[in-house]
Structures are given as structure tokens and as C-alpha cells.
Amino acid sequence: MIQITFLTNQGKVATAPENSNLLRVSLREQGGIPFKCGGGLCGTCKCRIESGREHTDDIKAKERKLISADELEEGYRLACQTFVQGDIAVSWEPRTPARSGSATAAAESGAG
Ligand code: FES
């Protein structure tokens, strides 16, 4: 078994079999990584492998489409496309809570 630490979720630790899909572990153990499509298309599950990057599998073509080369360098991955063979720690941008008021939403979506 391997250990996955969900840093953005108060450092919650989950165990999983080797070669588990990161998003699936997050879903099963309520790790909290955001997602939408589960198929490498939307980019919602973008996260950063903070430690144990050597325990993740190769970057997929879908990830190269949605994550810049610089960010890939820094350890960013799509959780739904990442399989984990050893202990890792992962963080991600917390989703901003939904707010009422379209002016705020418009302002926020404008900033690339
Ligand atoms: S959930 Fe859509 S790319 Fe991973």
C-alpha cells in the first residue's frame, strides 16, 4: 500500500494500492481534489505533486494540452490522468466558493 497526502485538505492521508489513479483515490477517500470530466479534458483536476514526483507515472498527451511546459516542470499534473506507485503529497488550488451576485463572478472569470 502507498500513502497519499492531500495537503490542501488539511494534510489528510489516504492509503491505496500501488498504481492507483490519483483522482480515484481522492474520490474514494474524500481527498477533495476538484474534478469534472474525469477524462483528461476539462483541466479541473489540475494539481501539484509536492513530493514523491518520482512515484508518479509519465505525463500524458492530454496533460500537455492543458498544462504548460513550465507548470509540468514544477510538478503539476491532472489527477485523473496520474497513476501513483509510491508515497506522494499533492496540493491544488482550492475552488472559490460559489457566491451570489453575477458581478463578482464576471470579475473573477476575467482574470486568466
Ligand atoms: S477531471 Fe477533467 S481533466 Fe481531470
d(CA 92, CA 101): 26
Express each pLDDT in 8-20 by its tens digit: 999 999 999 999 9
Express each pLDDT in 58-101 by its tens digit: 999 999 999 999 999 999 999 999 999 999 999 999 987 666 55
- Predicted structure pTM score: 0.85
Q: Of 44, 47, 62, 83, which is best to mutate to test ligand 1, by the most ligand atoms within 8 angstroms of its C-beta?
A: 44
Nearest-CA residue for atom 3 of ligand 1: 40
Q: Name the domain count of the chain.
A: 1
CB of 43 closer than 8 Å to CB of 23: no
Q: How much distance in Å is there from the Cα of 110 to the middle of ligand 1?
A: 22
We report the CATH number of the domain holding residue 27 as 3.10.20.30
Binding-site residues, ligand 1, Cβ < 6 A: 35-38, 40-45, 78, 80
Nearest 5 degrees, angle CA 62-CA 64-CA 66?
75
- State which residues form the domain around 85: 2-108
